[in-house]
Structure 1
């Protein structure tokens, strides 16, 4: 039995890609996308049909030049999501424009627009996760959206405060970023690249897992952003693991037994009082790594969204 097959016994495997071929090959349960992955897909000649469809849709819908660019971007995000859903039995995560990450109202409006685009093409909202950055504003948006059966994936999650706030707001799923935490510690010379063992990114997810299960929170934990298969194997037993095609291939190529590392406790504790916005911002601000990586992630996803819109602006 290869390691990928073995890992599927303990965790739900999710493909972290917009590449249809990779998704078909590794047969994950779910798939996640983000602006960077959508941009990669758009830059591939294989997906020219999706670009043409998006431009046709935007022009037909009309409106200002800016409106058409935004509509084309939303359309290709949904069309690629629909194509991915043909290859998987579970959810696809579609990300809201990162530039909206500090407005609860705008995130709710965009999420509803994306869900409407899916449903207009016959795809139920029950198969779509709206992906939002784990800012306070987005966490509150996810809480409201769930009331309309719109489920969310809170991404760019680095601090324990973010994880607590998500659970306390009963969001559907979180994506704590293992690899980017690891990257920060390397960049600060706080960890050697030759380090073997549970690195700070892995430890962060283990802490969240233990806390969630001890307090019986229903929010799903999906480890994300891996740099090597050792990080993945240390988290076997995590609810879900979203993995890039490169690491899926490595896991499939390796044989050997895998032990379950994360197990729910046999007892539950009463959850603490929920964090207020003031407490959340203070606690998150105490973690320099989390503050830097969340800001960087929002900026970079925003840049990729802008690049995507520039591609459409030239064509429209």
Structure 2
């Protein structure tokens, strides 16, 4: 039986990977939404074998009526992404406008249009920024620390309330750092440093961080589209392998065919220096631990990450995908 799916954020890092996977799937009818003012709205996406709906900015008054006709599932990958150097004075207000109000407006209209399931890509930032004694669990008390994480938590709470009121199934997926071809942000910066062959004082870091390769995350999203046990659940995403920053840098270098030049400087000394320079947040990302427990995801959905971290890193640098 064919499943009709509306995908938002189809030009983004994650959304484009989901679209590529869905486009090759059997018994799937994919529609996509694009911002009407997007520079990418006239790209090859509009010429693909799927219906394209040009919409405005993701906000609370956007009319999704035409895009939702006869849709059975919405996969919501559009969002105001986490911005490292936020310039807005009211960043929380802007995150809420897009990630909470805009998303819930779509979800309410989806429920009214009798969409069966709404798959929402959230963030591990809902759980918090660091783990100490044990990995994050899906049912941990939320502890977001920044505006982006707060907006994702508020979006989740609104979705769950909507599910209870309307009967529309909701699936929430919280990924940690996502890496893959074309990745931006911190991971891209790490790749550039290794590529340049610069010596890095990160050769003796013994933290543990969970990551998720784009192909593993997409595979999980696809599983959540129609798996009966996914309804009204929160899932953590991950590769199932936790790496130290040192191990990750070495893995990136191996995947690139360039050795990572790492100097073994004690983590405590790096932490002290970062504090003096006002870079505590950066130090936390490089030196601290953030682990997720994906056992619920694996057991409830009968799912395993199809790619290892080594395979995922290698796929980042394959000449063609």
Question: Going by fraction, where is helix more abundant, 1 or 2?
Answer: 1
More RCO (CA 8 Å, sep 6+): 1
What's the TM-score bracket when you normalise by the shorter of the two chains? Answer: 0.3 to 0.5
Q: Structure 2-normalised TM-score?
A: 0.34
TM-score norm. by structure 1 comes to 0.35
